[in-house]
Amino acid sequence: MKLGIIGLPQSGKTTIFNALTRGNVPTTMSGKMEVHTAVVDVPDPRVDVLSKMYNPKKTAYAKVTYADIAGLEGGGQGDIAGPLRNELGQMDGFIHVVRCFEDENVAHRSGSVNAARDIQGMDGELLLVDLIAIETKIQKLKEDRGKGGRDKAEIEREQALFERLHACLSGDKPLRTLDLIAEERKNLAGFQFLTLKPMLVVLNLGEGQTAPDVAAVTPHARALALQGKLEMDIAQLPPDDAAMFMEEYGISEPSLNRMIRESYDLMGLLSFFTVGEDEVRAWTVRTGAAAPEAAAVIHTDLQKGFIRAEVVAYTDLSGLGGMAEARNAGKLRLEGKEYIVQDGDILHVRFNL
């Protein structure tokens, strides 16, 4: 999973990226399209508990890849093109960092800080890019229908779908608001429409600042608030110093942890686990996946030879103290190919090739 961190210049998105990665990418504007990527662990206290239970040689968390994408100006002219458009299209979703902090040394490009205006501006920019692409596609479909050669019924189905998309965007609504069936989403995957991708709006606050209410302008995207500069400062401290700092300020955990979990959940993903003395690992699978699909995430051979899966819920295993106790309590069960994996399941796949 790859999420693009986007935002207007001086919004603090690179600060957020540095906090996520404990990096030091320059936060000054370069004036050109740049992309910095990093793979980040998804904080999960369940992994920590399981690791303490099994004391494995290796502990592995679920992963998310973040890309800090520079070059978005938010001019509202639909001028996202070329390499920047291609880069945005490859993302599975977006983290839109919105400036809420005041800083007399860092001027806002619009002359004042206004989160609602900036959210609407960025949404409008992405929407316009999609609208131009859809209008181009509709025109091509009309030309195809006139030429002949393609199945007429197939062209009509495509036209109907793209007219729906056009009507949605013309109503200033992102494509993610549409109730599309799986086949339609599959047919649209190659177009990489930007407003079809999930969006998490991050309100970048100054220290002690109260988050503005942006619910009215983000009805189709999740939103959360954090103090980007503070989060970066914490992330770049040595672990012991960071713990002391958070304790002094009454911070139970970095807000970035919540952001990572929110972005993970935003994509419709869940974690299941495999446990043992060699390794405790969190694996990622889409919500609604059946057991063989989860088995394939571990290794494709497990899916090919899938027989059954031994399954126990994390809450049962951790509460009872171990696999033997879970088995004795009747909490360890055998599930077949139709079983839908639940978040927190611990799986052991039985297979035969």
CB 103 within 8 A of CB 12: no
Which of 127, 89, 97 has its CA nearest to residue 2?
A: 89
Range of weakest confidence among 6-15, 34-43, 64-73, 153-162: 64-73
pTM of the model: 0.88
CB atoms within 10 A of CB 231: 23
Q: Which tokens belong to 336?
A: 């077949």
Chain mean position to CA 340: 22
Instruction: Give the CATH number of the domain where residue 328 resides.
Output: 3.10.20.30
> DSSP per residue over 296-327, as a string?
HHH-HHHHHTEEEEEEEEHHHHHHHTSHHHHH
Tell me the per-residue pLDDT of 236-285, one tens digit each, with 9 for 90 and over: 888 899 889 888 878 888 888 888 888 888 888 999 999 999 999 999 99
Q: Which tokens belong to 353?
A: 């090739």
Structural domain for 335, as ranges: 288-351
Q: Give residue 308's pLDDT.
A: 96
322 part of a folded domain: yes
103 part of a folded domain: no
Q: Which tokens belong to 120?
A: 């609407």
307 part of a folded domain: yes
298 part of a folded domain: yes
Give the best-scoring range by mean pLDDT among 107-111, 232-236, 333-337.
333-337
pLDDT band at 194 (very low <50, low <70, confident <90, very high): very high
305 part of a folded domain: yes
Give the total number of structural domains in the chain.
1
Q: Is the pLDDT of residue 169 over 70?
A: yes
Considering only residues 313 and 21, tell me which one the structure prediction assigns the higher pLDDT: 313
Considering only residues 217 and 28, tell me which one the structure prediction assigns the higher pLDDT: 217
151 part of a folded domain: no
Q: Give residue 76's pLDDT.
A: 53
Tell me the per-residue pLDDT of 116-157, one tens digit each, with 9 for 90 and over: 999 999 999 999 999 999 999 999 998 888 887 778 888 999
pLDDT band at 195 (very low <50, low <70, confident <90, very high): very high
Q: Is the pLDDT of residue 32 over 80?
A: no
332 part of a folded domain: yes
Give SS3 for 188: helix
13 part of a folded domain: no
CB 302 within 8 A of CB 351: yes
Q: Give residue 274's pLDDT.
A: 97
Helix axes 115-147, 152-170, angle to 10 degrees: 160
